[in-house]
A and B are shown apart, each in its own frame.
Chain A
Amino acid sequence: MPWMTAIVLLPLAGALSLLAVPAGNLLQARIHALLAAAGTAALVIGALVVFDRGDGGLQLVDDFGWAEKAGLSWSLGVDGLSIWLLALTAGIFLLAVAAACWRLPDRGAGYLGLILAAETGLLGLFAAGDLVLFYVFWEAMLIPFYFLIGIWGGPDRRAATLKFVIYTMVGSLLMLVAIVATAFAAQDVTGQLTFSIAELRGVSFSDTQSTWLFLGFAIAFAIKLPMWPFHAWLPDAYRAAPLGVTVLLAAVMSKAGAYGFMRIGVPVFPEGASHLALPIALLAIVGIVYGSLLAWRQTTMRLIVGYASLAHLGFILLGIMAFDLQASQGAVLQMVSHGLVVAAIFVIVGALSRGAEGETIDEVSGLSARASGLAGVFLIVSMAFLAIPGSSNFVGEFFILAGVFRHDPLLAGLAMLGVVYAAVYTLRLYQGTMWGPLRARAAERSRLTVRDAIVLGPVVAAMLFIALWPAGIAGATEAALARAVAPAQLAAGRPPEEIAAPVSQNPPASHLPLPGDPIGALPPGVEVTP
C-alpha cells in the first residue's frame, strides 16, 4: 500500500472535496475537513506503529515516476528523523482544524481548505526523498499560508504577506539553482543524473563545490527557520496572521528550515557544512541572545512568544551544527517539543488577548483570580517554555548543550545565556498577566473555553509524555541521525570513536572498475560500499 502517498495526499484530497461542498453548507465543510485531518493523523499513527525503530534508512518508500526525463520523481519515505515531524504536523493540524471548526471565520470553507493544503505541503516536505520534490513542497506550502495570512489576517496583512513571501522566495530560488547545480556536479562525479537525496548523500564533492552548494541551501533554510539576521519577516507575519495560523507557522512551519539542515545540508554536503559550522553556530547564538533580549522587552504578547521562538530555534540550529549524535537527538526532541509548547502558549496568548481586549501585556494583570484554570495550564506550559528540569524542552536543551559542550565549551557557555534569559521573559509574561492587581477589560472572557481545551488538552498531554519518556523519541532517531551526521563528523575531523555509523562514499566515476579490469583493481583508499 502506498502509505506515505496516502498520508501526504489525503489532506489535499480533503481540501479539494471542500470545493464540492455547496456554498454556505458549513456543517458539511466541517465534516469534510475533520475527516481529512483525522484520517491523516490516523494514517501517521499507523506509520508510527509499522515503523522499524532500529533501521536508519528510509522506510515505507513510495517511488513512482512523474517526469523522470527531467529528473522529477514522486519519491516519499520516512526515517527516524522525519517520522516525528510527520507526527507533529498531523497532530497540530488536526487540532488546528478542530479549533477552526469550533468557530469558523467567514468564508470558512476556504479557510479550512487552505489549512489542509498547507498540511499537504508540510507533510510532503518532511517525507520527500528527492531534492526536486522537496523543493516543490517547500514552495507549494507557501501558497496556502500566503492566502491564509492575506485574507484572514490583521490590519497590516498585505505588507506582511509580501515580506513573508519575498523573503522566503529569495532563499528558495537560490536553493533551486543549488539543487540543479548539485545534480550536475554529482553527475560529473558518479556519471548519472539523480536528484535522490539518498543517492546524493554518498557523493564526494570537492571542497569548494560542497561549500558553495551548502551555502545555496543554507540561505533558504536560514530564512525559513528563521536564523538571525534573516528573521525580519517573522514579527510581521506572526502579528498579522490569524492566531490559528500563527500557531501553525511557529509550531510546524518553522521546523522546515531545521529539517532542511538535518536532511540535506549536513548529510549531503559534509565538507561544506563543516567549513561553515562555526559561523552558523555563532549566528545561532546571536539569534538566541537577540531573540531572548527582544522577547524580554516586547509588550505585544504574540511577539514575546515569536522572539522567544527565534531563540529556541537558535538552540535547535546550534545542536544540528554541532555534528554530534546527542546534540542532533536533542535538536529533534527540541523540534517536537518546541512545536507543542509554542502551540500551547499561543492558545493561551489568545485567551489572554480575549480578556485584555488587546494584544499587549500592559493591558492585563492579575488574571489568575478570575481564570484559575487558565493560570494552572499556563504555569505548566511556562515551565516547559523556560525549560525547567523535568519539562519536555529541558530534555532537548540539555542534550543539545551537552553535545555542544563536548566539542566547544565556549559555544555552550554562550548558549547558556539563552537558558537564563528564557526564565526572564517567560516569567515576565506569566507574572505580568497572572499576578498582581486584577486589571483587564473583560477578565471573564479569559477563562478557558472548550475550544481552548480541545487544543490544550492533547498538546499538554504530549508535552508531559515527552518529558517523562524522552527516550521514546530519542531512541528511535538514533540510527537515522548517526548516519546523517557521520560524514560531517568525518569531515570535521572528529575522533573515530564518536562516529557511530559507517560512511559510504561513492568513488568518482574515473575510479570505478571497468568491465575487464582485474578484481580488486581499485586505487588505494577507495572503497565501494553497496
Chain B
Amino acid sequence: MSDLNVVVAVPALITSGVAVACLGIGMVPKRAVRRHGPSALALAGIVAALAMSIALWGERQEGFGGGLRADRFAMLLNVVFLVAALATIGLGWRGAEAVDRRGEYAALILISVTGMMLVAAAGDLITIFLGIELFSVGLYVLCALEVWRERSLESGLKYLIVGSIGSAILLYGLTFLFGAVGSTDLGEIGRNLSESSLTDRPLVIAATVLIVIGLGYKASAAPFHMWTPDVYEGAPTTITTFMATATKAAALAAFLRIFSGVMADLLPDWQTALAVLAVASIVVGNLAALVQKSLKRMLAYSSIAQAGYLLIGVTAGSIQGAEATLYYLLAYMAMTLAAFAVVIIRENEVPDGDRIASFAGYGRARPGVGAVMAIAMLSLAGFPPLSGFIGKFLLFGSAVEAHMTWLAIVGAVGSMISLGYYLRVIAVMWMSEPEPAILRRTLAPSGPVGLTTVTSAVAVVALAVAASPVLDACRGAAEALLVP
C-alpha cells in the first residue's frame, strides 16, 4: 500500500476548490462580477487542472492507499473531461438569463468534472462509485437549472429517477464483486480473478451483469437508453453538450477500467454481454434517430448509436480496442461539441432553434456555421478523411482482429443507416431556401461561443491530420490500463 501521495489528486483538488470559489463569487452583489466572474474563474481553474494533468503524464503513481491512480489513462481522460467543461462554459457564455445562477452553473460543472476525474483515476471500487455519484448528482441539478422552464425541471427529475436506479444497480454489482473477491482494490481484484473463468464464480457472473447494466445506464447504451432523448431535449443545451461528451467519456472510462483493466482474463465471458449492448445501441440509436424532428433529440439518439460504436472497442478487449475507443472518444467529443455548438447558436437567435426545420437555408445565410455543422455531421457519419472515420476504422479493425467481424459489419451497416439523418441536416441547411428571418449574412458569431464552435470543427479535422501523435498518446493510455 502506498502512502498518501497527494500529488495524484491535484487536478481533482484544483477543480473542486475552484468550484467552491465559484459559488462564492456568484453571490457577489455587483452584477458584472456575478455575470462573468464565475465563468472566468472556472476557465482559469480548468486550464490549471489541464496543465497539472499534462504534467502528471507518465508512469503510474498511486495515492490515497491505492484508491487513486495517476496514469496515462487517467490523464488522457482528464483532458477529455476538462476540455468538455471548458467548451461548455465557453458555449454558455451568452446565456444571459442565467446571470443569477452563474455561480451554481460553473460550480456544478466543476464538481461533475471532479467526479469524472475520480472515475478515470480510480484504483478502487469505492472511488469509481464515488466519482459516478458525484458527477451524477451534479448533473441532476444542472439539468433542472432553468427552473422557470417546465421541460428543464422534467428533464432533471427524469434523470434523477433513472440515474438513481442505474447507480443503485451499479452499486449492487460492485458489492457482489467485493463479496466474491473480498477486496475493493482494483489491483487485488485483478489478481484474484486472473486465470479464472465465470463458470466457477457465480457471484462474479451476477456482479458482471449488474455492472454492465449500471454502466449501461450511465453511457446511455441500449436497452438502458430510454431516459436519454427526454433528458437531452429538456436540459439546457449547454448541459446536454456536457452530458453527451463528458458523461459518455466517464462511463466508457469505467467500462475500460473494470472490464479491460481488471477482468481481462474473463474476456470470453463478458465479451458477449458487451457485444449485445453494442449491437442494441447501434441498431436502436440509428433507427430512432431517423424519424426525429428536434435536432437535440436526433443528437441524443445519435449519441446512443455512438455509444454502441465506442463499446465495440471495449468488446474487442485488446490494447488496440482500448486505443481505438480512446481515440474515438476524442474525435466524438470534438464533433459532438461542434454539432451542439451550432444548435446553441441557433437557439440564441430563435426560441425553437432546436427544430431541424428551423435550420432551413442556414448554411447559405451563415456559411461559417453551416460549414461547422457539415463537418460535424460528415465526421459523425464516418466520412474520411475526418477524425470520425479514423476512429471508426480503428474500432472496426479491432473487432475484426478479435475475430468479431460480424460486429464490424453491424457497425458498418449502422453507419450506413446513420447517413439518412446526418445528411438530412446538411441537406436542410444547404439545399433549401433560407427563411426570410435570417437576413444578416455573417460568417460566424463572435466571442467565446464562436471561438468554441470554430475550434471544435478545427479539432475534428486536426485529430485526423495529426492522427499519429494522438494515437501514440491513446496507445500509451491503453497500455497503462493493462498494467497490473
Q: Which residues of A contact B (CB under 8 A)?
A: 65-72, 107, 110, 132, 135-137, 139-140, 142-143, 146-147, 150-151, 157-158, 161-162, 165-166, 169-170, 173-174, 176-177, 180-181, 183-184
A240 to chain B, nearest CB (A): 11
Closest 7 CB pairs of A and B: A67-B467, A136-B384, A173-B412, A150-B431, A180-B400, A180-B397, A139-B384
Main secondary structure of the interface of B (DSSP, over half): helix
Asked whether B408 lies within 8 Å of A151 as measured between CB atoms, the reply is: no
Contact residue among B389, B396, B408, B416 (Cβ-Cβ distance under 8 Å from A136): B389
Asked whether B430 lies within 8 Å of A147 as measured between CB atoms, the reply is: yes
Q: Which residues of B contact A (CB under 8 A)?
A: 364, 367, 378, 382-385, 389-390, 392-394, 396-397, 400-401, 405, 408-409, 412-413, 415-416, 419-420, 423-424, 426-427, 430-432, 467-468, 471-472, 475
Nearest residue (CB) in A for B427 is A158
13 other A-B residue contacts (CB within 8 Å) besides A72-B390, A132-B393, A135-B384: A70-B397, A72-B393, A136-B384, A137-B384, A139-B383, A139-B384, A139-B389, A150-B427, A162-B427, A170-B416, A176-B392, A177-B409, A183-B397
Residues of B within 8 A of A174 (CB): 409, 412
> How far is A70 from B430 in the complex, measured between Cα atoms in Å?
34
Nearest residue (CB) in A for B418 is A169
B9 to chain A, nearest CB (A): 32
Q: A69-B472, A162-B423, A173-B412 are in contact. Are A181 and B405 (CB under 8 A)?
A: yes
> How far is A183 from B405 in the complex, measured between Cα atoms in Å?
13
Q: A66-B468, A158-B431 are in contact. Are A173 and B413 (CB under 8 A)?
A: yes
> How far is A58 from B473 in the complex, measured between Cα atoms in Å?
34
Asked whether A184 lies within 8 Å of B400 as measured between CB atoms, the reply is: yes
A133 to chain B, nearest CB (A): 9
> How far is A164 from B415 in the complex, measured between Cα atoms in Å?
16
A294 to chain B, nearest CB (A): 28
Asked whether B385 lies within 8 Å of A140 as measured between CB atoms, the reply is: yes
Contact residue among B382, B405, B431 (Cβ-Cβ distance under 8 Å from A177): B405
Nearest residue (CB) in A for B469 is A67
> How far is A67 from B393 in the complex, measured between Cα atoms in Å?
12
Residues of B within 8 A of A70 (CB): 390, 393-394, 397, 467, 471
A357 to chain B, nearest CB (A): 24
A163 to chain B, nearest CB (A): 11
Residues of B within 8 A of A68 (CB): 468
Asked whether A67 lies within 8 Å of B390 as measured between CB atoms, the reply is: yes
Residues of A within 8 A of B408 (CB): 177, 180-181
Contact residue among A72, A137, A169, A177 (Cβ-Cβ distance under 8 Å from B400): A177
A13 to chain B, nearest CB (A): 14
Residues of A within 8 A of B471 (CB): 67, 69-70
Contact residue among B412, B423, B431 (Cβ-Cβ distance under 8 Å from A176): B412
B330 to chain A, nearest CB (A): 13
Asked whether A184 lies within 8 Å of B401 as measured between CB atoms, the reply is: yes
Asked whether B416 lies within 8 Å of A166 as measured between CB atoms, the reply is: yes
B383 to chain A, nearest CB (A): 6
Residues of B within 8 A of A158 (CB): 427, 431-432
Residues of A within 8 A of B385 (CB): 136, 140
Nearest residue (CB) in A for B400 is A180
Residues of A within 8 A of B394 (CB): 70
Asked whether B396 lies within 8 Å of A176 as measured between CB atoms, the reply is: yes
Q: List 26 A-B contacts (CB under 8 A).
A: A66-B467, A69-B468, A70-B471, A72-B393, A107-B364, A136-B384, A140-B384, A143-B383, A147-B430, A150-B426, A151-B430, A158-B432, A161-B427, A162-B420, A162-B423, A162-B427, A165-B419, A166-B419, A169-B416, A169-B419, A170-B416, A173-B412, A174-B409, A176-B393, A177-B408, A180-B400
Residues of A within 8 A of B389 (CB): 136, 139
Residues of B within 8 A of A135 (CB): 384
Asked whether A180 lies within 8 Å of B427 as measured between CB atoms, the reply is: no
Residues of A within 8 A of B409 (CB): 174, 177
B12 to chain A, nearest CB (A): 31
Residues of B within 8 A of A161 (CB): 423, 427, 431
Nearest residue (CB) in A for B405 is A181
Asked whether A180 lies within 8 Å of B393 as measured between CB atoms, the reply is: yes
